[in-house]
Amino acid sequence: MDSHSVATAPGELVGGVDPHSHPSFLRHHFESVGQQREAASFGMWIFLLTEVMFFGGMFCAYLIFRNWYHPAFVAGSNTLDITLGTTNTAVLIGSSFTMAMAVYSAEMRRRSQLILFLTLTIVLGFAFLGIKAVEYHQKFVDHHIPGPNFSIQEFVHPSNPHAIPLSPDMAQKTQIYFSLYFAMTGMHALHMIIGISLLFFMVWRASQNAYTEGHIMPVENFGLYWHFVDIVWIFLFPLLYLISRYR
């Protein structure tokens, strides 16, 4: 490992070993595979922190508007389907588990197991997006998409006996709730679509043995991304669906 102690020409042997030999995936500016992995993880985490700030801005906006227009946010939140929301949370947690197992399979150098777990992650990712699409469709049917066709009917004359009718002025503010709902879940869904695209690419590369000969860094870093997307949902779920339920 101590390649600095002896100056050698390429091909020259030191103690019977070529000191310049290394795995093909080890870049020349790193001393070891471990150091390369550490640098890659560090870079990935810095990227994820910029993502925290990106989603954090929307969470901050949600917090402020929720305090300003609390009745509108309560009414808006109760139009969401809690069963679909809870199912989606479980689906996404399950996909995080399959992704973690994919990283483990790459570490164990088991190609078919890696492909299996990456594929399962894709399936669960699509399941999440499918359920989300059903929810979006319901909002479309109910005219709860902010804009000129938005209907405040449900909030001024609620069909739910537990709901408190809002004044037309406050009922208009539910558009802010739904704007934030679509912005936050939409950006989250976009991250999932990007993630699923990358997963398809990784299944293809995994089938070529790209990650099962020691070079697991792409799988590992993608895993960090996927778990991050899971964490965003772990916070979106209680804030959008749970904390304002009628009891």
* Residues at the interface with other proteins (CB under 8 A): 1, 31-32, 34-35, 37-38, 41-42, 45-46, 48-49, 52-53, 56, 59-60, 63-64, 67-68, 82, 86, 89-90, 93-94, 96-97, 99-101, 104, 107-108, 223-224, 227-228, 230-231, 234-235, 237-239, 241-243, 245, 247
Q: Which is nearer to other proteins, 145 or 221 (CB)?
A: 221
> What number of residues does the chain have?
247
CB of 223 to other proteins, least distance (A): 7
Contacts of range 22-26, beta carbons closer than 8 Å, 24 or more positions apart:
23/213, 23/214, 23/215, 25/214, 25/215, 25/217
Q: Which is nearer to other proteins, 105 or 189 (CB)?
A: 105
Taking the alpha carbons of 176, 180, 181, 182 in that order, is the dihedral positive or negative?
Answer: positive
CB of 163 to other proteins, least distance (A): 15
CB of 11 to other proteins, least distance (A): 25
Q: Which is nearer to other proteins, 12 or 38 (CB)?
A: 38
CB of 156 to other proteins, least distance (A): 21
Residues 33, 101: Cα–Cα separation, whole Å: 22
CB of 9 to other proteins, least distance (A): 24
Residue 162 · residue 246 · CB < 8 Å: yes
Residues 151, 171: Cα–Cα separation, whole Å: 9
**Residue 78: both structure tokens together:** 């109760």
Q: Which is nearer to other proteins, 99 or 131 (CB)?
A: 99
Q: Which is nearer to other proteins, 196 or 239 (CB)?
A: 239
Q: Which is nearer to other proteins, 59 or 126 (CB)?
A: 59
Residue 72 Cα distances to 32, 174, 193, angstroms: 57, 5, 30
Residues 51, 181: Cα–Cα separation, whole Å: 18
CB of 216 to other proteins, least distance (A): 8
